[in-house]
Amino acid sequence: YKTSYLYNDILQINKLSKLISNFIYMEKDESGKIKPIFPRYHQLDCVNLSLADAKPGKNYLIEHSNGSGKTKTIAWLAHGLINKFNIEDNRVYDMVIVVSDRRVIDKQLQEQVQSIEKVKGIVEKIEKHSEQLKEALMTGSNIVVTTLQKFPYILEEVKDLPERNYAVIIDEAHSSQTGIMARKMKQVLSTNSLEEAEASDTEDMNEVDEEILKEIESYRNLKNISFFAFTATPKSKTLEMFGWEDEYGHYHPFHTYTMKQAIREGFILDVLKNYLTYATYFKLVKKIQDDPEYEEKKAKRLLRMFVEKHPVAIARKTEIMLNHFMSSTIHKINGKAKAMVVTRSRLHAVLYKKAFDKLIKENNYPIKTLVAFTGVVRHDEQEYTENSMNDLPPKKSIRKAFEEDQYKILIVAEKFQTGFDQPLLHTMYIDKMLNGITAVQTLCRVNRICPNKNDTLILDFANKTEVIQKAFQPYYEATFLKEATDPHKLYELEEKLLDYQIFDKSDIETFVKAWKKGESQPKLHNILSPVVKEFKQKTKREQAGFKKTLNRYQNIYSFLSQLIPFSDVNLEKMYIFNKFLSKKLPTINNPLPFSVLQDVDIDSYKIVKKGKKEIKIESEGELKPISAGVGEYAPDINTKLSKIIKDLNDAFGTNFTDDDKVFLGRVKDNLLENKELINKMEHNSKENVKAVFDKYFNQEMNKLLNNNMNFYKRIVDNEKLRNRLKTALFDLLYSEFNKYRKKKEINKRENWPKAT
């Protein structure tokens, strides 16, 4: 039976007693009412399996979707780990450290972990500074809840930690634990000396090599630490670092609660079910007589940016969004629904805020907006900040203000795209390119459930549904990594760097030896100066390729050094050398041609609804390992402004007018009445007919010359458009001919469908 797990597992006396003593607790809800909290089955299963398997030096990846109750799972696991004892009745872990990379989540975790506390003093909240954290670590506090930002400050101060065992629980592991910060954390908690066996194998190495081996050792998998990494969206790096490897070399999470499960069980909503996309069309005109040349790729990128922040574009999109909100969204969730506008940049956020507020005031709508971005935005000789635009009371945060009923729309630039939990968010308006994990995390802001919330809506101006589908695919069901990152990729990258002949191995040896001796900064700079000189003598293409390869080496080494105890000190030497060299290399002088923006203006701008659809996700998601590829540097070519504008207008030009459609209908009618063409269609294959169709198509187009010169010119001058139109008409004619080919009177006009 489907419920057999209940009486075979949950209701067994020993299991039931543990459930009551270790999991069930009382919690106040928002109204102040005290209610009992029970774990859901996947939470109970995850904690029990983790506790049964947990041992120092072993890592665990927990892939739990949004809506899984991850914060409570972490809290239960933290208390379970600190109360886990071995057969000698000693604690398996001397301390449990709960780490989050976001301060808001840190506060939530602190409160949740403390709410489960059965005995006072078990949980210590680190709210002040690194000294407080250091004291907690040294005195052996039971459970410490902190942010990753607080952790690195005590690296040099803590000396005696390696004698203890630690369980480190990480919230959203993919963002905090796969880079340099993770290496720093491991340095704090690891031993600082090599084992005797390794030391004996390095007798012939010089003193510098031994020092480097110590650094390598600090990054290896540690025997006194267990990592329990929680994330809804694991990257390939995260899977390889924390996941378990099967017999085929695939990496898997230790425990999984998928997005598909959460949706089916009703704990989150499916954000892809109602997805509405809009297409943007525009036409640019050159407003100067000269035809200067610009770097084509950069000019096109700048012109697209120019279009998307043009007052016309902002006004049109704002009108669409606000009309939709007032006619549809505002009535959702019993009139409590809210919306988020995701913008391309801080400046776009400012412009949208002004446009929304202007339109709301003009229409006397009873709603207000908030905007969220960091720092100061300067535009049209004015400065804008969150505070100046929102006009909130001094101590009121945006997060708190958005809970109020009057604030219905939140406009964001990067902020609140992750880690923001507001169940009343129903609709998201997207005007920003999204992909990968960023797309998943952003869209999932609207998937939270609450009473009377039955659906969500995404209205997207910037992305294709195929891109969003691809982003969600790996995380809809269980994620796995196809294979491990190949350590030999480092040797490939090392060889590529040396092939540029900007430096050689003797340069690396000289620099690292000086660095280990603690030589002064001027001396270190003097060693690197000839290398920088060689770099400057290379072409721009070579410089760009070298920098890409160098950065790729640094990223892969930083990652792999946490997984593999490298014994080749040359790899670490290269890493140290590159770390300093990268800071000294000049930036490639390749400025954007901003002057192009002074030479153009918008002639027309149109937004067209493409359609509402449900994005379907397939089953199990596969991630690929990290690649050593750095790609080729493609130099930009100079192109005349008129050509750049033409290319953009061809790609994003406004659609056919109503008059154009009438003429197209006439072309179709005339082709359907052409006896010669119909006769050929009746007695020849489709391929043979297509070969002669051009003749009839061109005849009809020439008839338009006297009737609609503009339309004729658009078709004739644009080869891509002409070919698309010709193919579409031919396919349409052939399709309709097949429907009627059995009719005897195929030349009679009444037997053919009317043109539309």
pLDDT of amino acid 716: 63
Treating both helix axes as pointing N-terminal to C-terminal, what angle do 569-584 and 540-560 enclose, rounded to 10 degrees? 130
pLDDT digits over 396-438, tens only? Answer: 888 899 999 999 999 998 888 776 788 999 999 998 888 888 8
pLDDT digits over 85-106, tens only? Answer: 888 888 888 888 887 755 444 4
Gyration radius from the chain CA atoms = 32
Residue with more model confidence, 185 or 681: 681
Using a 10 angstrom Cβ sphere, with 0-12 exposed, 13-18 middle and 19 or more buried, the burial of residue 133 is buried
pLDDT of amino acid 569: 78
**Alpha carbon separation from 141 to 113, 135, 163, 743 (Å, rounded):** 14, 9, 15, 90
Q: Could you list the beta-strand ranges (E) of 421-551.
A: 425-430, 457-460, 479-481
pLDDT of amino acid 18: 85
Using a 10 angstrom Cβ sphere, with 0-12 exposed, 13-18 middle and 19 or more buried, the burial of residue 482 is middle
- 497 three-class SS: helix
Fold of 269-500+538-654: Rossmann fold (3.40.50)
pLDDT of amino acid 200: 32
pLDDT tier at 635 (50, 70, 90 boundaries)? Answer: low
Q: What is the spatial distance between Cα 201 and Cα 217, in angstroms, rounded to a whole number?
A: 14
Q: What is the mean pLDDT of residues 677-685?
A: 76
* Backbone φ/ψ region at 266: left (φ over 0), alpha (ψ -120 to 50), beta: left
Q: How many helices (H) and strands (E) does the chain have?
A: 30, 24
Q: What is the mean pLDDT of residues 166-178?
A: 65
Per the CB < 8 A criterion, the answer to whether 465 and 457 are in contact is: no
pLDDT tier at 562 (50, 70, 90 boundaries)? Answer: low
Q: What is the mean pLDDT of residues 478-507?
A: 74
Q: 217: how many CB neighbours lie within 10 A of its CB?
A: 18
pLDDT beyond 60 at 204: no
pLDDT beyond 80 at 61: yes
pLDDT of amino acid 433: 87
Q: What is the mean pLDDT of residues 69-73?
A: 86
Of 55-59, 84-88, 705-709, the least confident: 705-709
Distance separating the N- and C-terminal Cα atoms of the chain: 58
pLDDT of amino acid 213: 37
Q: What is the spatial distance between Cα 353 and Cα 369, in angstroms, rounded to a whole number?
A: 7
pLDDT of amino acid 414: 81
CA 244 to chain centre: 24
What one-character-per-residue DSSP string does 571-594 give? HHHHHHHHHHHHHHSPPP-----G
pLDDT of amino acid 131: 66
pLDDT digits over 638-671, tens only? Answer: 555 455 455 545 654 545 555 655 666 677 777 7
Smallest Cα–Cα separation from 712: which of 663, 665, 669? 663
What one-character-per-residue DSSP string does 247-262 give? TTS-EE-SEEE-HHHH
Q: What is the mean pLDDT of residues 516-541?
A: 87
Q: What is the spatial distance between Cα 51 and Cα 15, in angstroms, rounded to a whole number?
A: 14
DSSP code, position 403: T
Two structure tokens written together for 399: 């997060």
pLDDT of amino acid 272: 82
Using a 10 angstrom Cβ sphere, with 0-12 exposed, 13-18 middle and 19 or more buried, the burial of residue 469 is middle
pLDDT beyond 50 at 333: yes
pLDDT digits over 92-145, tens only? Answer: 888 888 877 554 444 555 566 666 555 555 666 655 555 666 677 666 668 887
Q: 719: how many CB neighbours lie within 10 A of its CB?
A: 10
Of 358-367, 451-460, 496-505, 666-675, the least confident: 666-675
Smallest Cα–Cα separation from 722: which of 731, 735, 712? 712
Q: What is the mean pLDDT of residues 22-39?
A: 81
Q: What's the whole-number average pLDDT of the chain?
A: 73
Q: What is the spatial distance between Cα 50 and Cα 44, in angstroms, rounded to a whole number?
A: 10
* Backbone φ/ψ region at 426: left (φ over 0), alpha (ψ -120 to 50), beta: alpha
What one-character-per-residue DSSP string does 109-174 give? HHHHHHHT-SSTTSEEE--S-HHHHHHHHHHT-SEEEEEGGGSGGGTTT--SGGGS-EEEEEESHH
Residue ranges in 329-428 assigned as alpha helix (H):
346-363, 386-390, 398-401
Q: How many residues does the chain have?
A: 756
pLDDT of amino acid 297: 64
pLDDT digits over 219-257, tens only? Answer: 345 677 788 888 887 877 778 778 887 777 778 889 988
pLDDT of amino acid 614: 61
Q: 511: how many CB neighbours lie within 10 A of its CB?
A: 22
| HEC-encoded secondary structure of 678-728 | HHHHHHCCHHHHHHHHHHHHHHHHHHCCCCCHHHHHHHHHCHHHHHHHHHH
Q: Could you list the beta-strand ranges (E) of 261-393.
A: 275-286, 293-295, 338-342, 368-372, 377-379, 382-384
pLDDT beyond 60 at 209: no
Q: What is the spatial distance between Cα 169 and Cα 173, in angstroms, rounded to a whole number?
A: 9
Q: Give me the sign of the Cα torsion angle 742, 747, 748, 752.
A: positive
pLDDT tier at 696 (50, 70, 90 boundaries)? Answer: confident
pLDDT of amino acid 123: 64
Q: What is the spatial distance between Cα 440 and Cα 116, in angstroms, rounded to a whole number?
A: 31
Q: Which CATH superfamily is domain 41-257 in?
A: P-loop containing nucleotide triphosphate hydrolases (3.40.50.300)
Q: Which residues contact residue 722 at a Cβ distance below 8 angstroms, ignoring those fewer than 6 apart?
A: 715, 716
Q: What is the spatial distance between Cα 162 and Cα 187, in angstroms, rounded to a whole number?
A: 10
